[in-house]
A = this chain, B = another copy of it.
């Protein structure tokens, strides 16, 4: 439709997640217009990520080179592991500034329909860490949806017999939320997880 290389770029952009045909066109024409060095910076950033980013061999967070920044930080508490589905979830937890332990990234959640079982996740590697490291608590921080809950349940059953404390992040109303707009499942969980008020 467009001149060869332009159409090729539109096609490649259209393969990215969340980019429809119109967005792909818009981005391609944007790149056509910007200064060559700006476009080159993008191309080089793609190449650099493929060449230099690896997974941390211990926690499977993204890393540059060997261990990730959190695993190499000796000030982090090695006795508490926060288990997440995705490296991006680490950023979310870090932002809370409530957690000073280490992480373990599963790279997905159990999903039998899509063929994701425990063998497709980094579960074996988690068990190895329990043997090697002095872990006393595991916080299951998978998403509070169907797959995340199933994964948390599976891991809890697997890990509890090994003598570690296994906890799950709380479900409930979001802070600043409104009872009127809460769905019944969330409100039910909030009631179930109620705590005595210190007064």
Chain A residues engaging chain B, CB cutoff 8 angstroms: 1-6, 8-9, 11-13, 15-19, 23, 25-32, 36, 38-53, 62-64, 68-69, 86-88, 91
Contact = CB atoms under 8 A, between A and B. Distances in A.
A42 B14 CA distance: 10
Q: By DSSP majority rule, is chain A's interface helix, strand, loop, or mixed?
A: helix
**Number of copies of chain A assembled together:** 2
A15 B39 CA distance: 11
Quick one: which of A25, A50, A51 has the most chain B CB within 10 A? A50
B50 A12 contact: no
Given A5-B48, A12-B45, A43-B46, A88 B25 contact: yes
Given A49-B31, A53-B32, A41 B12 contact: yes
